[in-house]
A and B are shown apart, each in its own frame.
Chain A
Amino acid sequence: MSSILMLRLMQYKRDISIVLLMTALTIGFIFIFAGPNNGVYKYKILVATDEKTPSYVRFMNELYKNKSYEFIEADYDTVKAEVEEGKIIAGIYFKNDEISILKTKEDINIFILENLASNTLFSIQSMSDMAETIVNYIDNIKDVDNNAVETIAYNEILESVTEKKHMTVSKEYLNSVNTLEYDGTKHLTIGIILFMSMFTIVFGIGSILEDKEYHTWDKMLISPLSRKQILGGNLISTFIVGAGQILLLIVLTKQLMGMDWGDGEDIKLVVLIGLLFVMTTTSLGLMLSGAVKTQRQLSTITPIILTSTSMLGGAMWPLDIVQSKLLLFLANFTPQKWAIEGMEKIIIYGGELNDIISSIIVLMIMTVVFFTIGIVTLKHAD
């Protein structure tokens, strides 16, 4: 078995440029798709009010600046209906300078929306209060058009807040916006890392097809190597390279992009899920290799299968925006979904081992199932 391990590692050493290129490409994709201000998806949020007061208008103007949500005005009944039907993740009802969030479930995006809305409301109210104080002060001096002055004062304060950023209110407000965009980044970073590493892993285990093409298979069979050793060596070398790539990407995204993978305990759990995911994908690769005859066929079907399951499993966009019950059901059969969910529970929701048990169990079951199917079909092809 050590012979096969040595063989594969020698081959990887020769192809080191390809492995490095894949890693660089992954980092590039994360920069492009998950970098700041590049959220590729936007949640639609409906906002309703009974009366378009000046503070409502200001509130809406602030919300429109946000890049992660698309805010649209609607009447209350529409908002309520769409939330209940699950067409949108949440709605906002603005009444008497207060807001309530319409929702049917709790999730990270709704949580962030709530924060965003209340921070926005708080900051415009603080600014309005200041503007009002100024107006009152001026009013005592001279009789002027109160409304006009208040609007001008508000706008000027707003300008100074956004440009000079020296007021505490504005700081809080800006921070919350940062947090919001960062979660899109985290999601996509995880998704892209898992998606790209799947290629390395599936093509890695696919090298068991290579020996038939290189005519080395027969020579292996008459050598002291057993079939079990050949398979074992291939599985282990694939695992090592796949795991190495995921670990490298975790380190690189942390160092180069400041990706927050949490503290030491969090990282351990993230790595645990990462390693399980490598095992599941290795077995998936074994199953795909059993289904085809040559490496060429494998490289034809692999991108199709990996891309479609990654889309389905939420590696490209969050599953929260998926409406179709069927697609959400199918997502459960992709390892990507469980790995992403597990990692997010830890680094976004601050979860612990208990919270990711379901991900761990599902990934283990998938590993066993894919592995068994792979072994059976490979034997059949012999």
Chain B
Amino acid sequence: MVLLDIKGISKSFKELKAVDDLSFTIDEGEIFGLLGPNGAGKSTTISMIASLLPPDDGDIIYKNESIMTKPNKLQKELGLVPQDIALYPTLSGYDNLKFWGHVYGIRGKELKNRIEEITELIGLSDRIKDRVDKYSGGMKRRLNIGAALIHKPRLLIMDEPTVGIDPQSRNHILNTVKMLNKEGMTIIYTSHYMEEVEELCDRICILDKGKVLASGTKLELIKLINGRERIDVQFELLNSKFMEEIKKLFYIGEITVLDNRVSIISENAENLLGDLIQIIKNSNTRILSIDVQKPSLETVFLHLTGRALRD
């Protein structure tokens, strides 16, 4: 069942078109990934879904009704994990959860139980009575998620929930997301980390400069690169002789250079590897590493834009 239908929404900030005629649908019970580099328009899209920002154009339909006329219907069932941590730093984690629970009308024993459940879910049981400004970045991120879950939302929107945290907290968050989804929660997951989106999401929409580049399941997206593989070579110092030689190979797809790293996409990876080593020898340059990449969303993005997802 389609829960949310985004119909051609656009949003401009003065001259800048932050979101440009964007459309996608979200089914009940799925994890939907919104993938794109910084500035792609992900947060702006989320603000429009949450009715915090009116679109210039287009419509957003939640359960067959436009949220333009009835924002409350979605807002009641929405849990928002904002990109910027939204917590009261001088209060304890417990009091933060208590406040948001209270806001959603949860009281007394029910609130207490709910806070305990959430605290356990986000793995903060031993620190929940401490002030938030004493927390590490990862703990704040986890509490930020907990605060959005207190009222058991039907739709959870997470805007880059893992930015700038330690791997342990990150794994905890990814597992939490999977668990919530298993219990039936629909989730929109926004990130510029393609590994996370690959791991979590049923369907993915790749955004760039406010536009949809591609969308579909992970498999559908990888088909876009048609079985082509990618080899990344890290040079100590990249020289022009190498670049001249490599471009002569007839079976080469895109070549992307970032500092001293060269990414080469090719349909014929086996031949490429042999030829590559030969050229490196001839061009008198030292390499630090050669990676043969599995087909991934990173490669898809590179293929579609000629730019790396993270820069």
Q: Which of B58-66, B95-103, B175-183 contacts A (4 or more CB under 8 A)?
A: B95-103
Whether A223 sits at the interface, judged by CB under 8 Å, is: yes
Q: Contact flags (1/0) for B198-234 with A, using CB distance below 8 Å?
A: 0000000000000000000000000000000000000
Report whether B104 and A11 are in contact in the complex, using a CB–CB cutoff of 8 Å. Answer: no
Report whether B86 and A215 are in contact in the complex, using a CB–CB cutoff of 8 Å. Answer: yes
Instruction: Tell me what chain A mostly uses at the interface: helix, strand, loop, or mixed.
Output: helix
- For the complex, give the distance between the alpha carbons of A224 and B103 in Å: 7
Q: A14-B131, A214-B89 are in contact. Are A219 and B82 (CB under 8 A)?
A: yes
Report whether B103 and A223 are in contact in the complex, using a CB–CB cutoff of 8 Å. Answer: yes
Report whether B90 and A15 are in contact in the complex, using a CB–CB cutoff of 8 Å. Answer: yes
Q: Which of B73-81, B112-120, B245-253, B301-309 contacts A (4 or more CB under 8 A)?
A: B73-81
Report whether A11 and B102 are in contact in the complex, using a CB–CB cutoff of 8 Å. Answer: no
Report whether B82 and A223 are in contact in the complex, using a CB–CB cutoff of 8 Å. Answer: no
Interfacial chain A residues near B90, Cβ < 8 Å: 11, 14-15
- For the complex, give the distance between the alpha carbons of A67 and B90 in Å: 48
* B169 → chain A closest CB, angstroms: 19
- For the complex, give the distance between the alpha carbons of A218 and B95 in Å: 19
- For the complex, give the distance between the alpha carbons of A329 and B119 in Å: 59
Whether B85 sits at the interface, judged by CB under 8 Å, is: yes
- For the complex, give the distance between the alpha carbons of A225 and B87 in Å: 17
In A151-182, which residues have CB < 8 Å from any B CB? none
Whether A25 sits at the interface, judged by CB under 8 Å, is: no
Report whether A3 and B103 are in contact in the complex, using a CB–CB cutoff of 8 Å. Answer: yes
Whether B165 sits at the interface, judged by CB under 8 Å, is: no
- For the complex, give the distance between the alpha carbons of A279 and B86 in Å: 30
Report whether A225 and B86 are in contact in the complex, using a CB–CB cutoff of 8 Å. Answer: no
In A193-248, which residues have CB < 8 Å from any B CB? 214-216, 218-225
Whether A372 sits at the interface, judged by CB under 8 Å, is: no
In B238-273, which residues have CB < 8 Å from any A CB? none
When C-beta atoms are compared, the residue in chain A nearest to B101 turns out to be A3
Q: Which of A3, A6, A7, A219 contacts B86 (CB 8 A)?
A: A219
Report whether B50 and A222 are in contact in the complex, using a CB–CB cutoff of 8 Å. Answer: yes
* B1 → chain A closest CB, angstroms: 23
- Extra contacts, 19 of them, besides A3-B99, A14-B91, A223-B100 (Cβ < 8 A), are A3-B103, A6-B98, A7-B91, A7-B99, A10-B91, A10-B95, A15-B90, A214-B88, A215-B84, A215-B85, A218-B47, A218-B82, A218-B86, A219-B86, A219-B147, A222-B50, A222-B80, A223-B75, A224-B103
| Complex A-B: 13 CB contacts under 8 Å | A6-B102, A10-B98, A10-B99, A11-B88, A214-B86, A214-B87, A214-B88, A218-B50, A219-B147, A221-B52, A222-B51, A222-B78, A224-B76
Binding site for B on A (CB under 8 A): 2-3, 6-7, 10-11, 14-15, 214-216, 218-225
